[in-house]
Amino acid sequence: MAIRVIREEGDEILKKISKPVEEIDEKIQILIEDMLETMRKYNGVGLAAVQVGVLKQVVVIQTDYEEEPIILINPKIVKTKGEQTVEEGCLSFPNKFAKVVRPEEVEVEAMNQLGKKIKIKGKDLLAQALAHEIDHLQGEVFIDKILPGTLEIVNPE
């Protein structure tokens, strides 16, 4: 396992569309482990493969470090319900936070780490994280969706 370099604002790869995973091989398993380790090191809630420079449809999410992480391969949002205005940040945009409108609930179809088809339903923070990370796979970043006038830049100490 290894900590990977997180691609940051201005890196063109963040605007590219990720490709579906054709085969869940050892390289994908290593990528998943590295992504989990990288996300935890930087106290993230989620991470998409594109954020570590890999244009594959792989997402890891862990809203509570006491629980098992969610690993999604080739995820698609199939249903949304409601709206929530949330404060959001992103590991690729360090120290930047803003308000974004996200679905209150989402339903996602994907494969897990073993290649089994799964469905995940998320509400509130999990719905927000799912929508945010799946956006990354489409080359969309939260900074493009912020509500005008809500961007805050927090200086690290």
Is position 12 annotated as part of the catalytic site? no
Q: Does a structural domain hold residue 66? A: yes
User: What are the backbone dihedrals phi and psi of residue 101, each rounded to the nearest 5 degrees, phi first?
Assistant: -95, 125
- State pLDDT tens for residues 25-56: 999 999 999 999 999 999 999 999 999 999 99
C-alpha dihedral, 95 to 99 to 105 to 111, nearest 10° = -30
Which residues form the domain of 139?
12-153
Q: Whole-angstrom Cα distance, residue 47 to residue 92? A: 9
Catalytic, out of 26, 133, 152, 157: 133
**What CATH number did the domain enclosing 37 receive?**
3.90.45.10
Q: Does a structural domain hold residue 20? A: yes
Q: Does a structural domain hold residue 6? A: no
pTM: 0.95
Q: Does a structural domain hold residue 106? A: yes
- Residue 157's pLDDT is 62
Q: Residue 122's pLDDT band (boundaries 50, 70, 90)? A: very high
Q: Whole-angstrom Cα distance, residue 47 to residue 56? A: 12
- State pLDDT tens for residues 56-106: 999 999 999 889 999 999 999 999 999 999 999 999 999 999 999 999 999
Largest CA distance in the chain: 45
Q: Does a structural domain hold residue 123? A: yes
Q: Can you read off the two tokens belonging to residue 127?
A: 């719905």
Q: Name the DSSP class of 142.
A: G
Number of domains in the chain: 1
Q: Does a structural domain hold residue 2? A: no
Q: Does a structural domain hold residue 7? A: no
Residue with tokens 């949304």, as numbered in its chain = 80
Residue with tokens 């799912």, as numbered in its chain = 130
Q: Whole-angstrom Cα distance, residue 87 to residue 79? A: 22
Q: Name the DSSP class of 12.
A: G
CB–CB of 37/2 below 8 Å?
A: yes
Q: Does a structural domain hold residue 146? A: yes
